[in-house]
Amino acid sequence: MLSTILAETEHEAAPMIAEPWVFALIAAVIFVVLAIVTWSYRDVANRHSDKVSSHDAGHGGHH
């Protein structure tokens, strides 16, 4: 029984499909892409302030 347990402890886990640095690189690239997408939406609410002000004037300015 002891030999069976020792044989099982030497058993290798499932092989990785890539090196660990590849996973870190993929995560970093995804993070940068999401940061660029988020940055591209900056100041969106203020781009059309002329439309908002004319809408508020016509509807009493309440929301």
Q: How many distinct structural domains can be found in the chain? A: 1
N residues, the chain: 63
| Cα end-to-end distance, the chain, whole Å | 75
- Alpha carbons 61 and 57: distance in angstroms, whole number: 6
Largest Cα–Cα distance in the chain?
Answer: 85
Residue 26 located in a structural domain: yes
Indicate whether 21 belongs to any domain. Answer: yes
**Residue 54 forms part of a structural domain:** no
Residue 34 inside a domain? The answer is: yes
- Domain presence at residue 62: no
The DSSP code for 18 is S
Is 32 part of any domain?
Answer: yes
State the Cα–Cα distance between residues 40 and 33, nearest whole angstrom.
11
Residue 10: pLDDT band (50, 70, 90) is: low
Tens-digit pLDDT profile for residues 11-49: 667 778 999 999 999 999 999 999 999 999 988 877 776
State the residue range of the domain holding 35: 17-44
Please tell me the pTM assigned to this model. Answer: 0.53
Q: Report yes or no on 33 lying in a domain.
A: yes
40 within a domain of the structure (yes/no): yes
